[in-house]
Structure 1
Amino acid sequence: MMLILLIIVSAALAIAGAGARDNVIWLHYVCKPLTTILIFYLAFRATSVNPPYRRAILTGIIFSLLGDIFLMLPATVVKPGFLLGLGSFLCAHICFLRALTSDHRFFSRPLIFLGIGTLGAANLFVLWPGLSTDLRVPVVIYVTCLLCMTAQAITRHLSIQTSASKWAMAGGILFMLSDTLLAYNKFYTPLPQASLLILATYYAALSLIARSVNRS
């Protein structure tokens, strides 16, 4: 419980710092990666009966940490920061998908993949005009991987029905929600309280995925 409390406090400080001025922006730079490191430790210390699942989730969280760093740094420091962040999170979702297929067959319920894919296609249709030409292919690849990860998390839970699979499913859904909010805020129209909405759902998603290691 102490670790969960530390994650909540660090996440709250990261969110508060995201919308702050220069005098407290350091909160965001320190607490954003710190929160992900704490979430990594949450998964690291969990007891798992599926070592490949645990390894894949831990690797995915490390890639998420890299994505956090690339996305939070200003363009004056890392010019292609968004693309590097996108690539890091793509690798993270590939790792999460690897974990979710370590004990359950991929694409075992096509209707779920069809439903999630339709939702993703509808969002891409809305966002497409706001995407620059050089971002369209990377974004489509990323979205496809994210949707597969989410659909596989749902499929897996409906099939094996464990508490760990439930956390993974909830984490996958929240990850999709967080990235959807981020995309609409960046490519469609600024959202009110964007940092709160995006980061709160992201940290909740990552924490649930980390918690799914326990007895998976």
Structure 2
Amino acid sequence: MKPVYISFVDLSINKDKGEQNDSIKASWKRILIKETAYPNPEIRTNSNGKPLIIYPEGWYYNISHSSGIAVSILGNIPVGIDIEKVSLKRDTKSLAEEYFRPEEIKYCCKSQKHFYCLWTRKEAWIKLQGSTVWQMRNTPDMSTATENIHTWQISDGETDYYLSAALDIPEKDKEIRIIWSGIENLSLSPQDSSLKIGMDEQSSVIK
């Protein structure tokens, strides 16, 4: 079974967005060559801006940025990913009322943790579907755990983030490998005890 790869990149190293994206794509091309032996992988974007792997077939890629960190995901199943920096100044109540279902609003008003868990879960899911944030209210209720969406809290000691990854199928035994690029001292904590894929359970970490 092929693993799912999640890559973290420190964007402060190079602030040119085009070069940042090229660097991220280059790292995934190396993984694709390793996993498939295909000599010349090709990555494009669709009309919604979702990255697509044209060759080799059967591989999927998605990316998210937040406050100096880029995170991307690669797998041989459809995938979506979202990362959000926790901001105490953010009007989470108004965002919840605009984008969330009534049952989700009740859930996320418990704390900022609940809001960011839910927001990243929903955005990862709509990116998995190839949709946009404007369809967020139409997603299924995600205030309860789902097997195919995995959420972590991330911290560098000063800044907290929430990260969610959505997989097209609930493969509980799917291996997740982490790739770090220029990022140190990040801690990752699973946010749902029912999820069996977690950073403390992955079988290998690539640094």
The question of a shared fold, defined as TM-score above 0.5 by the shorter chain, is answered with no
Higher strand share: 2
- Greater RCO, CA 8 A, separation 6+: 1
TM-score (normalizing by structure 2): 0.29
TM-score (normalizing by structure 1): 0.28
Higher helix share: 1
